[in-house]
Amino acid sequence: MVLHVYYTCKPGMAVAFILSLKESGLQEKIRAEDGCLQYDYCLSYEQKDTVVLLERWQDEAAQAAHMAQPHMEDVRRLKAAYTIDTRLERFA
């Protein structure tokens, strides 16, 4: 299963958002979860203040388990601090 998550960041905060996620160790915790095949944050070249998260999971059960992890609350806190909108695309 593949997800593309588009985060619209507060003006000028896209790089700070990515750095906060990396420096907190959250990205590596998530990459270590069972069934995680890819978890990469990218800056959009065309859409200013947009971060794109590319996720690949073994299956929907692995992604559901990911969302229930305690460290996802830390991700939500960072999202609240740095972003103003989130859009999700799901691919089979």
User: Residue 92 above 90 pLDDT?
Assistant: no
What is the pLDDT averaged over residues 67-79? 97
For 20-51, write each residue's pLDDT tens digit: 999 999 999 999 999 999 999 999 999 999 99
Q: Letter for the amino acid at 4? A: H
DSSP-derived 3-state class of residue 87: strand
What is the pTM assigned to this prediction? 0.93
At residue 86, the pLDDT reads: 97
User: Residue 75 above 90 pLDDT?
Assistant: yes
For 12-21, write each residue's pLDDT tens digit: 999 999 999 9
End-to-end CA distance of the chain: 5
Q: Do residues 71 and 39 touch, judged by C-beta distance below 8 A?
A: no
DSSP-derived 3-state class of residue 52: strand
Distance CA 11, CA 49 (A): 6
